[in-house]
Structure 1
């Protein structure tokens, strides 16, 4: 069965949540240890995390959860056209040029100038298209995957495809599916026997949130949303040798802005704030992410308790504590089937283009002109 068209799964002008999976065509060469040559490519995990962090600071996409594995990566993304609507034309132009500078006379500066921003703002038709792209999950994945592929090919001194193909997308249609998918992603290193618990699983959203709870900070990879003054750009072109400008570009591309941020400061908050209007975009003002809107109706403490309990159920299962079972039941999840849902996720949703309770999947199928989604029947045993 072929994958459905992207337009059926998500559109940039509608807020939706998507589980995206991107696999490497070279298997363990993405970020693990190559068993043949013995080379360790694990440092590439940090490349990917920092690139995600940078994109989260300029695009209208919330990163809810992620995990970077040895040969693939998982992300849960939420597009935010309502946030883009809050941005001025100047902000839209600057944010776009930070990620996609295009071929300009001063392209070796790698930074948009004031004139670049003003020129783009005058092209209203193109600016309308760019507003849509800033909240398009496909453009986020493109901006994430392409630089990583080019950088890896350069290090490996080779050419050709780095990623297997277009990323796999699953639309998440309710809170139950979102909680289960987020847990599945955060527990990927535990399931793969790469770590014994979420507390020891770097390059996952759970690890970032746990470390942030301890007050751990990191050098921010967020873009500096300030255009280069026209006079300064002209001075650089006249006084600085071209080779030196290229070197400055390479250094700045991988250098932080010098700001510190909590380790999870670029991720969307986990907990939905009560008494907040659904029409309020909660636009983030500090420049580390697009919005301050959470995505689950439970506290971070409850989420981590459930995550750690689930991580310990790899061999043999124990009865879920009553307090945690109550959380699952409220979402329509059969507490006795929770471990099976998370640990055997692929059996239930591995070939599905939609994730959620059976009734939610059925409603989504009708919305797109279909009768059903794959996985709808097998997943029904895990829900009340």
Structure 2
């Protein structure tokens, strides 16, 4: 049974969500289309530019409209509507056809804790390597991880005081359940640690190195107590291992009950990410 979007997305429970949308009518969003032989690589730029535009729109809202538009600007559904509508119009015009370009509803997965957030980020960032589109993250054009790596290296090279003061911008913020809580929880690591983890994971899942697992396990995994095999399975199959929520099993069940569900997918996967 279809669950209402307002139940699946609860910002007061978690601000982090993995959202996915697919093309219909056998259409290709990006890359080489094997059916018509066309290349749609340029569409990646459409998406990047639109996301930047939407982010800029949020920053440029007039002060006398903030109260009225605050909820809409913070709505994932509204964000996806604005993003998908323009991309669909451009794609239909380019393909000289009409009709639906996207599936009727985008899918979402609530990420309830930092383990879920970290493994989902890894799944998304490694998509180009897993699909065999690019051999390295540095060459994965139109991705946020490529941009973050470049900015990180630029910051390392620069020894100016300005670069030093902006170094915190490239750290992953601690995942906190609520800012009002006296005790904050989260995995304390910098972007350099994330780079170490994603580089190690990427080497393990590359098509030409299937089955290879580096002996030096990243310290983040050691800190969390997650085994290498469990981590690599999540990095390759995160979307398939969960339905619409990921996190600690008890929290997943509570989330499911809150939205009126009676069955929750991902028990064994959750225990792998939360061994203690």
TM exceeding 0.5: yes
1:191 is aligned to 2:135: no
Which runs of structure 2 are paired with 1:203-218 in the superposition (5 Å)? 203-215=142-154
Any idea what SS the aligned residue of 1:312 has? helix
Q: Does 1:146 align with 2:146?
A: no
2:15 counterpart of 1:16: yes
Structure with higher helix content: 2
Q: Deviations over 1:18-41 (max 9, x none)?
A: 100011114452112222332211
Structure 1 residues 298 and 196, CA, compared in 2 at 3 Å: closer, same or farther? same
Between Structure 1 and Structure 2, the one with more strand by share is 1
Question: Structure 2 length normalisation: TM-score?
Answer: 0.79
Cα RMSD (Å) of the superposition? 3.2
Alpha-carbon separation, structure 1, partners of 2:93 and 2:193: 44
Q: Which structure 2 residues correspond to residues 309-320 of structure 1 after superposition, within 5 A?
A: 309-314=200-205, 315-319=210-214
**2:179 paired residue number:** 278
1:61-140 matches, cutoff 5 A = 89-90=63-64, 92=66, 128=68, 130-140=69-79
Matches within 5 A, 1:329-340: 329-331=222-224, 333-340=226-233
Asked if structure 1 preserves the Cα contact closer than 8 Å seen for 2:128 and 2:140, the reply is: yes
* 2:216 equivalent to 1:321: yes
Q: Which runs of 5+ in 2 are unaligned?
A: 156-165, 181-185
Helix, strand or coil: the match of 1:180?
helix
1: CA distance between counterparts of 2:14 and 2:251?
Answer: 16
Superimposed CA distance per residue, residues 323-367 of structure 1 (whole angstroms, 9 cap, x where no aligned partner): x2x422434533442112212324422xx1101232331232244
Distance 1:3 1:375, change over 3 A: farther
1:108-165: per-residue Cα shift (whole Å, max 9, x none)? xxxxxxxxxxxxxxxxxxx53x321111110000010001111111222211111122
TM-score, length-scaled by structure 1: 0.59
C-alpha change, 1:213 and 1:319, in structure 2 (3 Å) is closer
| Corresponding residue pairs, total | 254
> Could you report, residue by residue, the CA deviation over 1:156-196 in whole angstroms, capped at 9, with x for unpaired residues?
22111111221101111000000000000000111111111
Cα 1:5–1:52 shift into 2, 3 Å: same
Aligned 8 A contact 1:3 1:353 in 2: no
Take 1:46 and 1:27, find their aligned partners in 2: how far apart are those partners?
21
1:305 is matched with 196
Q: Is the 8 A contact 2:14 2:111 kept in 1?
A: no
Q: Distance in 2 between matches of 1:26 and 1:297?
A: 45
Q: Distance in 1 between matches of 2:227 and 2:221?
A: 7
